Structure 1
């Protein structure tokens, strides 16, 4: 798969390193070209400008600080229209750990509206150090990665990229649910700022013990 990566920070580094090792072809752009080139060299990939990366990508990863999203989307313009886009970002301010998006509206939906791309929300609930693990396994179980989106083919691409990290994909609905994933991330980020281990995660898979369709009893 040809993956275009927008951003050259810790998340881009962690995910790009894993996907390059899985055999995907990568191209990256970043606010600091030298930093993007250094990552590309390490991956055996290429660096380029925003337009070049958008044209190259079959699927794009946008991995930038929420404060920079608007300028990145302006640079992308229509370059990702009708393409799969993975949004791993979180619109969370760190004074009170609340969302900066409008009530009931997610950053993922804003990206979809701005680009015309098929956005899938994924990879937003863990610190970059978790994505560096090969594979991310906790208590003998693979890390569960929730994702959501409106476009079946884009979701399939996201599912494959999750699986390529050795993780368990968990579909949680259409893109309206991205707002809830971003709110969950606000809790994770508050824990990280509070000094918790960067490997703090939510593991959401637990086999039910009741009948099919019946939740297990709660004591």
Structure 2
């Protein structure tokens, strides 16, 4: 797959490295050419501008910038993201673990509005970047599940493949209108992990005890 990465931070580094190792053609783009070149050299990718990353990402473009910059970056890309699968891994979580988009629309929906013609998929936002670097992320014998929210089935299938490349299991999270729930989950879990030192897995029972009909 041809993957463009818009951003040069930790998520760009870790996910980009994993996808390069999986055999994908990755181009890292950033506002700072030197920083983009340095990161690309570290992970075995190519480097360019943000627009070049979007144009390169014929199969997927990872938006790996802080949420505060995300809408501005996407708006600046214009037609370069039209027809692209745009993966939103941002978390609109502010000080005190508060959801900055409370009341809506979600971060993913705002990004989609700034990128008409792109197929936005929300995902990869529930874990610290260090988790994505594990090979593979398996805990207690169970592979990490990665919920995805989106509308376009072709885009979702592309991202499912990228999830599997990490050794993880893609999970259907519903349409993009449910991305806000995924973002709120991230805010809540981060608050438990970092604010309270609580193992968040302990708050949910196994499926067989969840009181739902799984037949």
> What is the Cα deviation at residue 44 of structure 1?
2.2
Correspondence for 2:104: 104
C-alpha separation between the residues in 2 aligned to 1:41 and 1:86? 23
- Does 2:145 correspond to 1:144? yes
Q: 1:192 to 1:76 in 2, by over 3 A?
A: farther
Correspondence for 1:118: 119
> What is the Cα deviation at residue 202 of structure 1?
5.2
C-alpha separation between the residues in 2 aligned to 1:202 and 1:88? 21
CA RMSD of aligned residues (A): 2.5
- Does 2:73 correspond to 1:78? no
Correspondence for 2:163: 162
SS where residue 60 of structure 1 aligns? strand
Correspondence for 1:214: 213
> What is the Cα deviation at residue 196 of structure 1?
4.0
In the superposition, the TM-score normalised over structure 1's length comes to 0.88
When the two structures are aligned, how many residues end up with a matched partner? 212
SS where residue 61 of structure 1 aligns? strand
Q: 1:210 to 1:180 in 2, by over 3 A?
A: closer
Higher mean alpha-carbon deviation, 162-171 vs 182-191, is at 182-191
Q: For 1:160-183, what per-residue CA distance to the aligned partner results, in whole angstroms no more than 9, with x for missing partners?
A: 000000001111111111000000
Q: How does 1:5-84 map to 2 (within 5 A)?
A: 5-58=5-58, 59-84=60-85
Q: 1:189 to 1:32 in 2, by over 3 A?
A: farther
Q: Unaligned regions of 5+ residues in structure 1, if any?
A: none
Q: For 1:138-170, what per-residue CA distance to the aligned partner results, in whole angstroms no more than 9, with x for missing partners?
A: 111100111110000000011000000000111
C-alpha separation between the residues in 2 aligned to 1:9 and 1:192? 22
SS where residue 146 of structure 2 aligns? strand
- Does 2:91 correspond to 1:90? yes
SS where residue 81 of structure 2 aligns? coil
Q: For 1:41-60, what per-residue CA distance to the aligned partner results, in whole angstroms no more than 9, with x for missing partners?
A: 12222111122111111210
> What is the Cα deviation at residue 191 of structure 1?
3.3
SS where residue 68 of structure 2 aligns? helix
Q: 1:70 to 1:171 in 2, by over 3 A?
A: same
> What is the Cα deviation at residue 104 of structure 1?
3.3
Structure whose residues are more often helix by fraction: 2
Higher mean alpha-carbon deviation, 67-76 vs 13-22, is at 67-76
Correspondence for 1:178: 179
> What is the Cα deviation at residue 190 of structure 1?
1.9
In the superposition, the TM-score normalised over structure 2's length comes to 0.89
